[in-house]
Structure 1
């Protein structure tokens, strides 16, 4: 317990310090000094999480546990992929291919059957990018991911996987340290490096921790733990499809943006998203402990289409974005970053 607390504290402080240093360097040297809000803060989260997790065994104070080292290597590769994407936009096929390869390595080591393994790879890649898409509003992604990491840490410890529990606790602490700089008004953003790293590590840990207990309970838990990011992704893709907008081009059409349209502040939107993630995580923990049946997740599943329908009614595009021809471009669409190829969603 003391070792875990020390590791989490170290990750929190280290991330906060690294993020401040990266911001200073980016403001001075990035884009010839024109960066007003740097987007490489994910380097701090990845380095702090990986560094603290590896430092335990090296210092002889904590063991990684079975299967944690390969998981760290795969997550590190995804973080590097994201960093390259931050510096130079990558093609969708390249990025998804690397993510799928990393997910395949994790699933193979987890010992899943071929059928379950294929589904797990697809799920990991989807959740990884869903978390990246959520990085679109100050504090939103960090709050949701930190809550999810803590919930998964509890599941891992309860299932006798202290190494995974420690890793997830360190990740939650690192995200909390980053929120010091990412809370509105954000002074630095995660970027692809941090958001892809976080999403991949959460999804991979979820699969690994639940690998020994497939079935309805596991399905219910994983759905509840990722309810927020899945809802946001479905909302965005459906909204852009209905509006005739390119699916891969970013814009202010996420849950956080719609909540602000309804009158919430940026901070309020992050708190609401974090609170919703906490509520869903508590349901997942109840299912994991066997206190409630997996069917208890059904009300949450019914809330997803209801929330999507209601949020779709919030105008976010304006009349100019309705049903364009495929090649038509407006100043708004030209300036919007691509969700999957670069920039913030």
Structure 2
């Protein structure tokens, strides 16, 4: 049944996207070129609506009997409405945050999705107490915006989200969580249908409508999929979402280092840095797909590792991320503390 539903979602997304493209032009949901954008002509940016409609159709066909289902659908609908309004008239950051917060509150209070505690690796557990709701909301809103931040090239956010959804659904299926696996699969099929039109050269952008919806859904699915919460299982979704999370993290560091407002836009995100190095648009997207797939593979290995092996894997991963970020200038051309430290060690060794 779920495979048939996925096929319906995929075909629906392919059929609906051209209609959404026409609608985007009609209601003025377009993206105009400027100094921060890489495209050179006016583009429709309501593509996320096609993903949402396809997903809802699949959701209704499947008819999940789960207490989390309706709150997730309502929260997702709030995000979609917020995204459509933003794609049409460019809402202020406060209004967008308000929509994201309302959606998060729906799944937390109506859906009962909360990160209440984590089991520590060497025994015992850490209860979050009154912080469980704020931590859950920060996660949902944070991932929603992280996916939105990487939506800077044709097919980038849709492809990276698809890789994350494949990983989350596969691991949920392995753990016997049919609800998360099926919901992720339906969303994946809807996204892949849209990606046909969104891959370079794109005919339509997903806009904030799509980027925020995918970010919201992935954040909620990752919370549900790894709710048997140990320190290890809490880290798994962080690794799966390594591309958007690390890009957001370095964007914050970059703005602090350069004494800019954290919300200030710039052209120094991961995809911008790769483009500056001389990679083409398509090559840059494929490189980031490969990085996302690498994170997904690490997450799978991490889930099977013993405690000390997991800690070692995380340490190596963090070092690799920092070296890569310094190599491509993700924080700044001259901000290379780890590389300078390593060169210093090599120099001292040679002097001896």
Alignment correspondent of 2:280: 265
C-alpha contact (below 8 Å) 2:253/2:331 kept by paired residues: no
Question: Matched residue of 1:65: which SS?
Answer: coil
Change (3 A) 1:77 1:272: same
Alignment correspondent of 2:66: 65
Provide Cα deviations, 1:175-224, integer angstroms capped at 9, x if missing partner. Answer: 2111111111111101111100000000011112222x222112220221
Provide Cα deviations, 1:309-343, integer angstroms capped at 9, x if missing partner. Answer: 22327989xxxxxxxxxxxxxxxxxxxxxxxxxxx
Q: 1:305 aligns with which of 298, 313, 322?
A: 322
TM-score by length of 2: 0.79
Alignment correspondent of 2:99: 98
Alignment correspondent of 1:171: 187
C-alpha contact (below 8 Å) 1:64/1:164 kept by paired residues: no
Higher RCO (C-alpha 8 Å, min separation 6):
1
Alpha-carbon deviation of 1:127? 1.0
Alignment correspondent of 1:87: 88
Question: Matched residue of 1:110: which SS?
Answer: coil
| In 2, Cα distance between equivalents of 1:78 and 1:268 | 31
Alpha-carbon deviation of 1:252? 2.7
What's the C-alpha RMSD, in Å, of the aligned pairs?
2.6
Structural mapping, 1:89-238, within 5 Å: 89-108=90-109, 109-113=112-116, 114-211=130-227, 213-238=228-253
C-alpha contact (below 8 Å) 2:275/2:281 kept by paired residues: yes
Number of equivalenced pairs: 308
Q: 1:16 aligns with which of 14, 17, 38?
A: 14
Alpha-carbon deviation of 1:69? 2.2
C-alpha contact (below 8 Å) 2:274/2:284 kept by paired residues: yes
Alignment correspondent of 1:280: 295
Change (3 A) 1:216 1:55: same
Change (3 A) 1:29 1:78: closer
Question: Matched residue of 2:279: which SS?
Answer: coil
Q: Which runs of 5+ in 2 are unaligned?
A: 33-40, 117-129, 334-352
Alpha-carbon deviation of 1:100? 2.4
Q: Which runs of 5+ in 1 are unaligned?
A: 58-62, 317-345
Change (3 A) 1:91 1:223: same
Alpha-carbon deviation of 1:280? 0.9
| In 2, Cα distance between equivalents of 1:88 and 1:313 | 31
Provide Cα deviations, 1:204-260, integer angstroms capped at 9, x if missing partner. Answer: 11112222x222112220221111001111233333444455543434322112112
